[in-house]
Amino acid sequence: MPDYAWPDAQHRTLIGTRVSRVDAPAKVSGQAKYTYDVHRPGMLYGKVLRCPYAHAKIVSIDTSAAEKIPGVKAVHIVQGRGTIIHWAGDEIVAVAAVDEPTAEDAVRAIKVEYQQLAHLVSDAEPPKGGVQEEGPLSMDALDDMLDNEVPAGQMVSQIQQYGITEKPGEDRLSEFKENGASDAVLDAIRTAAVHPEAASKLPSSYQKAAAQTAGDPEKALAEADVVSEGLYGIPLITHCCLESHGSISEWTDQDHLFTHISTQNVSGIPGQMAEPLKMPATNIRVHQDHIGGGFGSKFSPDRWGIFTAEISKKAGGKPVRIMLERDAELEVAGARPSAYARVKVGATKDGTLVAWQSNSWGTGGPGGGGMPPIPYVFSIPNQRLEHIAIRNNIGPARAWRAPNHPQAAVLTMCALDDLAAKLNMDPVEFFGKNLNLTKQRENTYREELAIASELMDWKQKWHPRGQIASGDLVRGVGLSFHTWGGRGHASDCDLTIHPDGSVDLKLGTQDLGTGTRTCILIVAAETLGIPMNAIQLQIGDTTYPSSGGSGGSTTIGGVSSSTRRAAEDARDALFAKVAPALDTQPDHLECVNGKVSVKGDSSRSLSWKQACSKLGVMPLTVRGKNPDKSKPPDLTNSGVGGVQMAEVEVDTDTGVVKIKKMVAVQDCGLVIDLKTAETQCYGALIMGISYALYEEKVMDPTTGRMLNADMEFYRLAGLSDIPELVVHMMTGKGYDERGVIGLGEPPVISPGAAISNAVANAIGVRAPFLPLTPDRVLAALEQKAGA
Amino acid sequence: MRDDNQNQKNHDDNGESPGVSRRDFLKISGISVAVPLIAGPRVIKAAGQEVRVYGPGKVPMEFAINGKIYKANLEPRVTLLDALRDEFELTGAKRVCDRAECGACTVLVDDKPVYACAMLAIEAQHKAITTVESLTRDGKLHPIQQAFVDNDASQCGFCTPGFVVACKAFLDKHPHPTPDDIRRGLSGNLCRCGTYAGIRKAIAQVAQKGV
């Protein structure tokens, strides 16, 4: 049995080194083709009429004028008369025309009458007494959940937990099915407990979503030497992918659909399109070369992906392109749930954490949303947690890099930092003292904390709160901890060695800009002992072996493991063919520097090309898989730790916060490409600066619409906002042997908390909510002056 | 309403751009005209002067892009960006904000960086348009492109072509930039993945070596 294990440090030539991104030349020269760039012959351009109200009923739709406009090829009603719309910007009618201006004219010619309904877009603290205990679900509530695309697993567990208010007939069940209910959801409805008495209660926008107690928090808080109380929060933000969501769909014949789509989930798209389009998944081909950002918002074809295919069919199968406009991208294509909390946390005099109590709330849109994992990283012994989910009309939430973790980091690390300040302790000392509460990550965090402190020059820069230098510009430092899983997902890959020595590698994965292509080639080249450019890699198509969606930092572990196994097996199969020619046994051969040679006797060798010619006429194809228990060891792992520190400068006259320096110390097991791994961390720090200081999806309570659905007022950090950034990857003994672990999520978790803590250190008071805009900083300073 | 059709006559183009200048636009916007669906300019009288009017139907247009002539019939409301991408399949410049906020569509017009989403195609006629596609010659990357590769200054890469063009224009004007020049000079482009650290290093690499 071959040894699939990762080579040790002495036997690596590529893994763990700094390799330049293989698709960078295509990207810098404008040759890389994204979905938005695909131009199919005879392509039509689609536009969408969207609902201007946050909550409304469609009274009538008149598309007759639009249909008469020359050049309009199809008009498709997405949501018809009588439908209740739950967020502004939702799709009502789609049109396809010969060019964009004509499509825009057609959208303008459609008349829709709405009956406006009361809306709620606020995520402010729930009113006392207005909160409803989670209870049995009405048929309308189930419809709403389906409309709002609540994940099937979540629906099933809520149905099982709370029951339903009436037993639906088969007609109602088939309506649910048409509305997108999966078989599991339908089964759950059929077998749910029925509570008719609950039907009379009106649904509230405020739902108790979690209540947990561990230990005796009241007693522990009463006995604590120091208790700190505070309010913390992190608002709704958007994904703001630069390439908006969308697709180009065409029917290659009556039964076959070909879709170019901007997606994090190439292999998973056909299965999601099959049911709504009432066709077999196998008849749907999906292709994507490059994607302009996803960040968690591009796993599904979305409603617009489905109606793009439908409108193409109406237009005789012609290719139709529907990419979201920027305002729609920001309004409907993804938001990170908000989270706020009143936190009470207690410690003994020496800084040992003893108790945590939090009353948290937040919104994930019409679906409500869950409680972030608080207290985060530190398992404080006595806890009481209560969370209220606000169901409102802001539009659906989506996974956003490290779902729920940046929120948990802000709520936890800011509360603990305030406690450290109250104890008059240096946070490095305070957090260091409690690292035993991080359980199995303790040693990692301890090493990282020491390295981060040195890289930040923390000892020189930290000062107790309130002891600030005089003048208008004040500086401070802050830190935060984070963790993530990141185990590799399921991935299949096919590696083919051709008799002429050429090699190709196919897998249905995608490269989000994380370096996936580069890492796959590093692993294959390292294993086969040939240069990376001798291998042709093809990804991003459903005709290739399927590989998981790129979410939750699962891609690198998945694709590197499947590639490693395929390359090992292919190499050994080649050795079996080559061994007779070199008059040796296959297991005495090795593949190094483009040569197949007898181990320890380099005089007996064949060039790679000569060796491959021994295959005869047929190419050799091997399938590699992850996971694959039959081919140990496990090449991927789960669970990383990271520490980040921020240094800020605050202008106390204007409230403007400037980041002066950030340090990220990160573990991710065995690093495949150090260069792209570091880039991932730099990028995460920058994205973190952006959401800590600038980003917020601002909802207008009067109109129910997003006020800043463009890129001028939905502010992203620019080049001039970025300070000195220091990234340190934990590698070597204790890290490498863990196997490959994902890196997409972890480094983006801590920046918000670290920056908020640095600002508190600088100005001597907590500005409770991100983003730390000048008005919020000035309000905090004013409160401090008044106190 | 005035009937300006009386003023319509064949107008010799004299190779002058049929684009509408800002001054012309201000004049036109002060009046209202019934405009038939015809190609080619009409001339109307506005504020006592003759002004040519194009559209709203498709108008034949001609462009000089990367040293080549491109022709298309386009409505006057089509932007330079959409003409490049949808008519000529020069898709390096990206459509992101579509309103002059993010810089992903940056191209050079007469050597100056311009947001192609904020310029009408009709205005861009007979000007020298340079897109990212022309920076790579005979398969060899331009030094700033090579510096982007070396310093890993792209992730998803959607902002990258716009940044590359903006950096080239910036370095042409500031061959030896200070860090402050870089901060100010490249604030017109936005990146979501967070590649600014690599971009700064790329600029420093080219500035040191010279282009």
**Number of H-type helices and E-type strands within chain A:** 21, 28
Contact indicator for A635, A567 with CB cutoff of 8 Å: no
Q: Which candidate from B135, B192, B199 shows the least CB-CB separation from A719?
A: B199
Domains of chain A: 9-32+488-626 (3.30.365.10), 35-119+245-323 (3.90.1170.50), 133-203 (no CATH), 335-486+638-786 (3.30.365.10)
What six digits make up the tokens of A772?
Answer: 């730390």
Q: Which residues of chain B are within 8 Å of residue A37 when distances are taken between CB atoms?
A: 85, 91, 94
What six digits make up the tokens of A198?
Answer: 């609950």
Query: Closest by alpha carbon to A473, among A647, A645, A654, A646?
Result: A654
Residue-wise over A560-580: b if at least 16 C-beta within 10 A, else e? bbbbbbbbbbbbbbbbebbbe
Residue extent(s) of CATH 1.10.150.120 domains in chain B? 143-209
Beta bridge partners of A535: A503
Find which of A28, A687, A748 to mutate to test the B interface (most B CBs within 10 Å of its CB).
A28
Q: Which candidate from A21, A31, A685 shows the least CB-CB separation from B152?
A: A21
Q: What distance in Å separates residue A720's CA from the closest CA in chain B?
A: 4
State the 10-residue block means of pLDDT for chain A, 787 residues long. Answer: 91 97 98 98 98 98 98 98 97 98 98 97 88 77 75 86 89 87 91 81 78 94 98 98 98 98 98 97 98 98 98 98 98 96 98 98 88 97 95 94 97 98 98 97 97 98 80 94 98 98 98 98 98 98 98 97 98 97 96 95 95 97 98 97 98 96 98 98 98 98 97 97 97 96 98 98 97 97 85
Angle, CA A494 vertex, CA A488 and CA A497 arms, to 5°: 130
Q: Which residues of chain A are within 8 Å of residue B154 when distances are taken between CB atoms?
A: 21, 24, 27-28, 513
Q: Which residues of chain A are within 8 Å of residue B196 when distances are taken between CB atoms?
A: 686, 717-719, 722
Task: Round to whole Å and give the CA distance between A31 and B93.
Answer: 10
> What single letter denotes the amino acid at residue A544?
Y
Task: Round to whole Å and give the CA distance between A321 and A327.
Answer: 17
Q: Which candidate from A36, A512, A683 shows the least CB-CB separation from B194?
A: A683
Q: Determine, for residues B183 and A720 on separate chains, whether the beta-carbon distance falls below 8 Å.
A: yes
Q: Which candidate from A33, A326, A718 shows the least CB-CB separation from B91?
A: A33
Contact indicator for B101, A716 with CB cutoff of 8 Å: no
Q: Is the pLDDT of residue B26 over 70?
A: no
Coil, strand or helix at B49:
strand
Residue extent(s) of CATH 3.10.20.30 domains in chain B? 59-131
Q: What distance in Å separates residue B65's CA from the closest CA in chain A?
A: 15
Q: Which residues of chain B are within 8 Å of residue A517 when distances are taken between CB atoms?
A: none
Instruction: State residue A77's pLDDT score.
Output: 98
Q: Determine, for residues A683 and B132 on separate chains, whether the beta-carbon distance falls below 8 Å.
A: no
Among the CATH numbers 2.40.50.140, 3.10.129.10, 1.10.150.120, 3.40.50.1970, which is that of B143-209? 1.10.150.120
* CB-count exposure of residue A31 (10 Å: 0-12, 13-18, 19+): middle
End-to-end CA separation in angstroms for chain B? 58
Query: Closest by alpha carbon to A469, among A759, A763, A757?
Result: A763
Instruction: Show the beta-strand stretches assigned E in A485-600.
Output: 491-497, 503-507, 535-539, 589-592, 595-598
Q: Determine, for residues A719 and B198 on separate chains, whether the beta-carbon distance falls below 8 Å.
A: no
Q: Search chain A and give the residue with CA nearest B135.
A: A29
Task: Round to whole Å and give the CA distance between A611 and A575.
Answer: 8
Task: Round to whole Å and give the CA distance between B98 and B83.
Answer: 13
What's the number of CA atoms in the CB half-sphere (13 Å) around residue A682? 27
Instruction: State residue A89's pLDDT score.
Output: 98
The length of chain B in residues reads: 211
Contact indicator for A391, A496 with CB cutoff of 8 Å: no
Q: What is the pLDDT of residues B150-173, one digit of tens each?
A: 999 999 999 999 999 999 999 999
Task: Round to whole Å and give the CA distance between A191 and A193.
Answer: 7
> Does A586 contact B at CB distance below 8 Å?
no
Q: Search chain A and give the residue with CA nearest B96.
A: A242
Angle, CA A529 vertex, CA A525 and CA A532 arms, to 5°: 30
Spatial strand order of the sheet with A56-62 comes to: A84-85, A56-62, A111-116
Coil, strand or helix at B147:
helix
- The residues, ordered by sequence, that sit 6+ positions from A625 with a Cβ below 8 Å of its Cβ are A490, A491, A492, A562, A565, A631
Q: What distance in Å separates residue B141's CA from the closest CA in chain A?
A: 7
Instruction: State residue A161's pLDDT score.
Output: 87
Beta bridge partners of A336: A237
Confidence of residue B47 (pLDDT cuts 50, 70, 90): confident
Instruction: State residue A467's pLDDT score.
Output: 65
Coil, strand or helix at B208:
helix
Q: Which candidate from A27, A45, A690 shows the least CB-CB separation from B160?
A: A27
Q: Which residues of chain A are within 8 Å of residue B192 when distances are taken between CB atoms?
A: 240-242, 293, 295, 687, 716
Instruction: State residue B7's pLDDT score.
Output: 37
Q: What is the mean pLDDT of chain B?
A: 85
Q: Determine, for residues B156 and A21 on separate chains, whether the beta-carbon distance falls below 8 Å.
A: no
> Does A99 contact B at CB distance below 8 Å?
yes
Task: Round to whole Å and give the CA distance between A24 and B199.
Answer: 13
> Does B26 contact A at CB distance below 8 Å?
no
Instruction: State residue A509's pLDDT score.
Output: 98
Determine the angle formed by the axes of helices A674-693 and A751-763, rounding to 10 degrees: 50
Residue whose tokens read 């639009």:
A66
> Does B132 contact A at CB distance below 8 Å?
yes
DSSP B83: I
Q: Which residues of chain B are within 8 Å of residue A686 when distances are taken between CB atoms?
A: 191, 194-197
Coil, strand or helix at B58:
coil
Q: Search chain A and give the residue with CA nearest B92.
A: A30
In which element (H, E) is residue A475 found? Answer: strand A473-484
End-to-end CA separation in angstroms for chain A? 72
Q: Determine, for residues A293 and B193 on separate chains, whether the beta-carbon distance falls below 8 Å.
A: yes
Cα torsion for A137, A138, A139, A140, to the nearest 10°?
Answer: -110
Beta bridge partners of A724: A661
Coil, strand or helix at A66:
helix
> Does A30 contact B at CB distance below 8 Å?
yes
Confidence of residue B28 (pLDDT cuts 50, 70, 90): very low
**pTM of the full predicted structure?**
0.91
Range in A371-380, B12-21, B186-195 with the lowest mean pLDDT: B12-21
Task: Round to whole Å and give the CA distance between B156 and A288.
Answer: 13
Task: Round to whole Å and give the CA distance between A421 and A760.
Answer: 9
Q: Determine, for residues B196 and A719 on separate chains, whether the beta-carbon distance falls below 8 Å.
A: yes
Q: Which residues of chain B are within 8 Å of residue A533 when distances are taken between CB atoms?
A: none
- Note which residues in 692-711 of chain A have CB less than 8 A from chain B: 710-711
Cα torsion for B157, B161, B163, B167, to the nearest 10°?
Answer: 140
Instruction: State residue A38's pLDDT score.
Output: 98
Residue whose tokens read 């169901």:
A391
Find which of B196, B199, B201 to mutate to test the A interface (most A CBs within 10 Å of its CB).
B196
CA–chain centroid gap for A750, Å, is: 15
Find which of B141, B148, B158 to mutate to test the A interface (most A CBs within 10 Å of its CB).
B158
Coil, strand or helix at A532:
helix
Task: Round to whole Å and give the CA distance between B71 and B64.
Answer: 9
The second-level CATH assignment, the architecture, of B59-131 is Roll (3.10)
Q: Search chain B and give the residue with CA nearest A45.
A: B86
Range in A27-36, A642-651, B48-57, B100-109 with the lowest mean pLDDT: B48-57
In which element (H, E) is residue A28 found? Answer: helix A24-28
> Does A500 contact B at CB distance below 8 Å?
no
Q: Search chain B and give the residue with CA nearest A712.
A: B101
Q: Determine, for residues A719 and B132 on separate chains, whether the beta-carbon distance falls below 8 Å.
A: no
Q: Determine, for residues A242 and B158 on separate chains, whether the beta-carbon distance falls below 8 Å.
A: yes
Instruction: State residue A368's pLDDT score.
Output: 80
> Does A684 contact B at CB distance below 8 Å?
yes
Find which of B59, B66, B96 to mutate to test the A interface (most A CBs within 10 Å of its CB).
B96
> Does B149 contact A at CB distance below 8 Å?
yes
SS (H, E, C) A682-744: HHHHHHHHHHHHCCCCCECCCCCCECCCCCCCCCCCEHHHCCEEEEEEECCCCCHHHCECCCC
DSSP B2: -
Beta bridge partners of A358: A343, A385
> Does A713 contact B at CB distance below 8 Å?
no
Q: How many CB atoms lie within 10 A of CB A454?
A: 13
Q: Determine, for residues A243 and B94 on separate chains, whether the beta-carbon distance falls below 8 Å.
A: yes
Task: Round to whole Å and give the CA distance between A360 and A374.
Answer: 10
Confidence of residue B62 (pLDDT cuts 50, 70, 90): very high
In which element (H, E) is residue A507 found? Answer: strand A503-507
What's the number of CA atoms in the CB half-sphere (13 Å) around residue A338? 33
Q: Search chain B and give the residue with CA nearest A330.
A: B97
**Number of H-type helices and E-type strands within chain B:** 6, 7
Q: Determine, for residues A242 and B155 on separate chains, whether the beta-carbon distance falls below 8 Å.
A: no
Q: Which candidate from B94, B141, B194 shows the least CB-CB separation from A25?
A: B141
Q: What is the pLDDT of residues B124-145, one digit of tens each?
A: 999 999 999 999 999 999 999 9
What six digits make up the tokens of A240?
Answer: 């703001």
- Note which residues in 510-539 of chain A have CB less than 8 A from chain B: 512-514
Contact indicator for A749, A406 with CB cutoff of 8 Å: yes
Q: Determine, for residues A29 and B145 on separate chains, whether the beta-carbon distance falls below 8 Å.
A: yes
Instruction: State residue A412's pLDDT score.
Output: 98
Task: Round to whole Å and give the CA distance between B37 and B21.
Answer: 22
* CB-count exposure of residue A776 (10 Å: 0-12, 13-18, 19+): middle
